Amino acid sequence: MIYLDHHAASPLNASVRARMDDVGATAWANPSSVHGAGRAARAILERARREVGEAFGVSPKSVVFTSGGTEACNLAIRGLLPVGTRRGVMTTSVEHPAVHEPSQTFTDRRQIPWSESFDVQLPRLATDELLAVQWVNHETGTLFPVARWACQAKRDGARVFVDATQAAGKIPVQFDEIGADALAIASQKIGGPAGVGALLIRGAIAPLLQGGGQERGRRPGTPNVALLAGFGEACCQLSARRASMARITRLRDQLERSLVELGAVLNGVEGPRVGTVVNASFRHLKGEELVAALDLEEVCVSSGAACSSGLQSESPVLKAMYPAEPWRARGALRFSFGPETTDEMISRAVDKLALVLQRFMIQPSQSARAR
């Protein structure tokens, strides 16, 4: 199997699996319990919290564990400016659904329109507004100037949330250097287990849920200690993960050249971007059909955000980026890479895609002869 869908989830790092195995006999207990078993689980939990905090340059007290990146985004967007104290939210037009959809709960919603460089000044924000933006786009890898935007928003007195789920492990992410009030991280994007993540926060936040005082009252519920131990270990490996980015960028460039030779048009290459993803469209084909055909060839890719699979056939990100070329959204494929990706995987994936494209191109003439 050729796995090229790391922007959805990366395989578990070997040291992460080892850590989770090591704590398995202890991590089952409720870390809120005061007896010995609970204290042992608590020690594992707090070690993971320290590791996450150290990886992103914050105090452990600023780390709120969640069930993943989606919950972290929702907690930030709904909690930084609770209902009754907020006026509006400003986002980009290409956000992940985890940011876009909770932003719809605001009466006043403004979007930063797409531009090739995003070298724009934000409109002035009010003190009861929230700037909620992604750092790295999940489909194209586009890098946004979040530090500059956050600086401007803070001068206006607004609150700032940054979705860093696709940035962690690809570029250095230090919370204090961004200037945001909150920042979301997802474990499965950095070689950790799915089902856990974190919101790094500065100051108070209103909880989404009620029913317990866990996470200093910010996120009630009994945590999955074993998964969080794996998350902590994944954070310890972030430097090694980032060290592979130069090699991965070379693989990206290699794949892009091959895709162009096969007739694809590249998406999102106009501005700065990370090296872990290629987004390409085929004018007369549907991305979802290509994904299915490649899956039969044991090549794992996607046509957009994994959370949207089966719900929509066209990428809203590419629709916003290329409104005059709707075929780009219909015919998109996303190939994304991690430290496990090799030259051989890229070469084999290109060969498989060439076979798939040949079959798709032959079918219309065969159907015509049959009629």
Q: Which pLDDT value is given to residue 81?
A: 82
Q: Which pLDDT value is given to residue 85?
A: 64
Query: pTM for the whole thing?
Result: 0.93
Q: Is 235 a catalytic residue?
A: no
Q: Which of 73, 151, 300, 307 is catalytic?
A: 307
Q: Which pLDDT value is given to residue 128?
A: 86
Q: Which pLDDT value is given to residue 8?
A: 96
CA torsion angle for 133, 137, 141, 147 (degrees, to 10)?
0
pLDDT tens for the chain, 371 residues: list them: 999 999 999 999 999 999 999 999 999 999 999 999 999 999 999 999 999 999 999 999 999 999 999 999 999 999 998 766 667 999 999 999 999 999 998 889 999 888 776 677 788 998 889 999 999 999 999 999 999 999 999 999 999 999 999 999 999 999 999 999 999 999 999 999 999 999 999 988 999 999 988 999 999 999 999 999 999 999 999 999 999 999 999 999 999 999 999 999 999 998 899 999 999 999 999 999 999 999 999 999 998 765 554 445 689 999 999 999 999 999 999 999 999 999 999 999 999 999 999 998 754 334 333 32
Q: Which pLDDT value is given to residue 307?
A: 56
Q: Which pLDDT value is given to residue 28?
A: 96
